[in-house]
Amino acid sequence: MDPITISIATALGLGLGQVGKTLIDEGLVKPALEPATKKISAFLQRGTKAAEADEALQKAVQEALQAIGAPEDEDKLTQFLLNRGFDQLQAQNSDALRQEMAQAAILQFTNDPKLVPERLLKSLKMPVNSHPLLAQFLYEVRESLKTHEIWGALIEKANQDAVRGFLYQAAHETRRTADAAEQFTEYMRQLLDFYGLHDKPDAEALKEYLEHITLEYEHINFVLTKARRRDRLVSEAELKTVFVPLRIHDPTVAKRQEGDLLESINKRARSDKDEQDSTLTIKDVISRFNHFILIGPPGSGKTTLLRYLALTFGQGQAQAQLGWEREPLLPILVPLRNFSRFLAENKAEYTSPAPLALRRFIDDYFNEHDLELPPHFFHNRLKAGRCLLMLDGLDEVADQGERARVAQFVTQFIRRYEKPGNVFVLASRPRGYDQVRDYLPKPLVCTVQDLSPEDRDQLVRNLFVELEPDVRQRVRDTADLIADIHSKERVDSLSRNPLFCTTLVLVYKYQEGKLPERRVDVYQELVNLMLGFWETHKANREGIADVHDLVHMDGTGRAFRDERDAIEAKERALMFVAFWMLNASLTEIPKQEAIDELGDYFFKEEGAKAEEKSRWAQSFLDVAHQRSGLFVEYDTGSYAFSHKNFLEYLAATALVNELDQEMLDVVLSHAGDPSWEEVIQLAFAHENLPQKRYRLLVEALLKAGHSLLTGRCAVDAGRRLPVPLREQIQTQLKSEMVEIDREPKKRFEAGQLLDEMGWLPPDLNAWLKCPGCADNRHDLWVMKYPVTNTQFSLFMAAGGYETAAFWGGVESEGWQWRLEKHPDYRGDKPVTQPEYWQDTGFGKERRGFPVVGISWYEAAAYTRWLTSLLQSETPLPVEQQQLVADLQEAGVTTSRLPTHSEWVRLAGGVGEARYPWDTPNQPETADVEEVVRRANVNETGLRQTSPVGLFPAGTSHPFGLMDLAGNVWEWTEAWYDDKKETRVLCGGSWNFVLQDARVAFRFWSDPDYSSHNVGFRVVSPVVSGS
């Protein structure tokens, strides 16, 4: 047989061996095909020699070549194969290509050219029209190998859906890895050209550094228990597989609204939706801003986002993934808690803020990762404006004074290297940033939003790609979990946080139990998982023999009664460490200090002998690092919790275990400290907290003036909090919400907490009689407040979007708008809910906030639905009856939107510059501070809608209506123009300047327009004689 045929068969055999090994490792062909697996293992041990000696495989290749018309003459055959790229299989470093070829052959179930991977043709350098030829070749090879003593069993197994699905996924991964390698090689070539570094030592350093970036960030700790083999557990996932782009509030929206007033209004009414919406992705942010800070709550994905940026720029994928059009940047990602430690260790050298300190820290940080970088490696690139510097975890510098010092050093560094081209990114929790913001050089604040339902669902799908290799099972699991999340309001809310969403998926997949509905319960499930409880659960289902030993192993050599006993012992030790670190304001500790503290703990609390306590501590740390992923060795000789949330949850658990007075003393002494805030909230909600302690804590916190913290605790506690205490907290928050001299942001937080606790104004459904306000000078009954989300939800539940009559009939403009004639930003399907209904800041979860994202057609449909309630001859459901009770008592039978002139009368009439609260015997309000005390306008600084009734000092004169000025624009019945193309809106809103909230000001827009600053209010006219 000719040498080239033998070489092709050899290459194909090596590829088949790799595919077989992968399937064995995955547990997909073992033990069902035990004889075949032994032969595959033997084949792999012999490697090339086995492949070269496989005559049956050579014959299969020969027959396949004949089937595609290959000539028999050896010289002609050689030229034939060279022209079609088969020689590429013989090249050095072609392992990925050989494996890809083998995967394609196994999956070529027919000779359909569509089954041939495009990447394979590219790798073989075949002509573009070679799909049919290659498809026929692969198919013939597969058919011939069906009876092969080794590969026949493998091909038969590939006919099963699970194996086939895995092979498709593996083939994709092989192609993706090969593409990435090619792209990185090309990226390095471009960088070396760009920097002029050919044949210089710096070139090797740059290559080593970028390879380190990939190695460091391409995977994330994922706490999985997926078995790639049945005897091996995996605790990481590929970052780009699970990554979902986060959405960020546009930090420039408020600034754009401070421009020319009338021009701003007209532009906004006619603007494209992208301009009106204030949501960006990191792709938008990184290309527009050179200096910004990511602000987000725990678990919101800030660190993962920074790792994604580092990986994307490090692999040369910034243009493809982020639309980056500028010069390539060198990514530098460092944790600020490590920089804080560096400053503490070098306090004598860096007595005042200077850029050299952070520069030296960056050098040292990467040198500790065994990178041999030349001097000035980072400095030269920073000086040239070619770096993306990411400083993570500002809030993780626990001590506020030290955090302020770190911020000052960061400021000096940014000012030194603020060259055109450099990009600086910081990340922090909100309170950690707020306390030191004055020490930073005014970065643009980019607030990370909760996941949208679509992004949350995508994250669930991505997670199941890692968790479940069986494609059919994966599809079932994904659909079932998403449906379960959608059906539970509290779970739906929790799942908008990436960390919590991940935990919910793990709970669903491995515990097969009820999904947790509170944050503290999510943490508890996650800690249980990482300490081994779920490893035991999985072992019980899958028979992993050694997992039992893993769960019992804590490094001390102790014998435990059962798995639960072992897990609780490990948790107690970590609780001690967390509580001690929190009291000492530490986010990481030197190894020896950890050994000393843990040793004392084991001696005093766990029965260790004096001579063995250090060994217990040392071994415990080793096991904690290797097994749990909770408490790990980050740098040589330094330990820290892998996520700040774990420290906080375990410290909270320790706090709950303190005696009553000790716990109360700790809570009161740290109630104003942001680094303790999350701990106190989690402790308050903890299932181990005795019911009797709630009264003790609530009364003490309220007495000490910590009402907002108490409210946050109540929200976290949920139904565990006794009703009388809940009402006591609500009473205090209601008082603070309406206190006119209180800062609006504090009042807003009180109102928001009340809303989250389920409180609504008792007069929410009130209608007020306004004599002589109708255009015919009859009386009008008017909603005291703009329509809220909870009131609009009744319309939706009653089939409001599906009932054509409420929209004017099937031929009406409104019904056609709902079905298909709405703007693209409302989707390509019939409209079934307000635009922002699923938004956690504006939508259904904000029950007492004005409904927004409402077009004029939707507002009008709501009024027709109310009319149907008023004219109903059958008893109404309780909630619907409460909505119109005042109108029924008054005997009115219709409702609608007000005209513009009616709206003005309701607001007390037009004055030159009056607001609705201005009275005839007083000057019109001109002072900005007076306006922001009375209305939610741009200058108030809330940056979103507010609960109705938050500004009682803004009550209108003379009729007592609320929120007529600010909060949301209100649709009216009136046409703005003679052509009757646009409708009038009145009242101003939260993100428009205060002048817009004057009674005389009118906004206008197309009736199909919707926005997060537009809502409505309903009127009901009194017919003469009623």
- Report CA dihedral (507, 508, 514, 516) to the nearest 10 degrees: 50
What token pair was written down for 331?
Answer: 């990514």
pTM over 0.75: no
Q: Please tell me the distance from the alpha carbon of residue 277 to that of residue 173, in angstroms, as a whole number.
A: 37
Nearest to 317, CA basis, from 307, 306, 328: 328
What is the spatial distance between Cα 124 and Cα 529, in angstroms, rounded to a whole number?
46
State the greatest distance between any 2 C-alpha atoms of the chain, in Å, as a whole number.
Answer: 110
Q: Are 960 and 768 in contact (CB under 8 A)?
A: yes
pLDDT digits (tens, 9 = 90+) for 2-25: 676 777 777 777 767 776 666 665
Do residues 311 and 239 lie in contact, with contact meaning Cβ atoms separated by under 8 Å?
yes
Q: Give the dihedral of Cα atoms 613, 618, 624, 625; nearest 10 deg.
A: 170
- Distance (Å) of CA 952 to CA 388, 747, 892, 989: 48, 11, 28, 16
How long a stretch of residues is the chain? 1026
Please give the DSSP secondary-structure letter assigned to residue 984: E
pLDDT recorded at residue 190: 61
The residue among 671, 644, 669, 667 whose CA lies nearest residue 578 is: 644
Cα torsion angle, 404, 407, 413, 417, sign: negative
| Nearest Cα to Cα of residue 398 among 580, 127, 145 | 580
DSSP per residue, 663-706: HHHHHHHHTT-HHHHHHHHHHHH-TTS-THHHHHHHHHHHHTT-
End-to-end CA distance of the chain: 105
Alpha carbon distance 298, 428 (integer Å): 9
Distance CA 34, CA 813 (A): 69
CA-wise closest residue to 624 among 527, 523, 705, 514: 527
Measured CA to CA, the distance from residue 800 to residue 865 in angstroms comes to 7
Q: How many CB atoms lie within 10 A of CB 957?
A: 17
Strands, DSSP E only, in 277-365? 279-281, 291-295, 330-335
Q: What is the pLDDT of residues 448-496, one digit of tens each?
A: 888 888 899 999 998 888 778 777 888 888 998 998 888 877 788 878 8
Q: Is-contact 305 282, C-beta < 8 A?
A: yes
- Right CATH number for 247-447 from 1.20.272, 1.10.287, 1.20.120, 3.40.50? 3.40.50
Supply the pLDDT for residue 989: 96
Question: Shortest CA distance to 634 belongs to which of 431, 404, 393?
Answer: 393
Beta bridge partners of 633: 639
Taking only the tens place, the pLDDT of each residue in 396-415 is: 887 888 999 999 999 999 99
CA angle 733-737-738, nearest 5°? 130
- Alpha-carbon distance of 899 to 428, in angstroms, equals 47
Instruction: Extract the residue ranges of the chain whose pLDDT is less than 70.
Output: 1-2, 4, 15, 19-52, 89-96, 128, 157-200, 221-236, 252-278, 511-513, 532-553, 626-629, 635-636, 912, 1024-1026
Contact between 261 and 1002 (Cβ < 8 Å) = no
Task: Pick one of 3.30.2000, 1.10.10, 2.30.30, 3.90.1580 as the CATH number of 767-1021.
Answer: 3.90.1580
**Alpha-carbon separation of residue 619 from 139, 369, 561, 612, 637 (angstroms):** 56, 24, 20, 11, 14
- Residue 228's pLDDT is 35
Task: Please tell me the distance from the alpha carbon of residue 962 to that of residue 786, in angstroms, as a whole number.
Answer: 8
Q: Answer for the pair 357, 392: CB distance below 8 angstroms, yes or no.
A: no
Structure letter (DSSP) for residue 926: -
The helix (run of H) or strand (run of E) holding residue 840 is none
pLDDT for residue 639: 87
* Calpha distance 138→144 (Å, rounded): 10
pLDDT at 164: 55
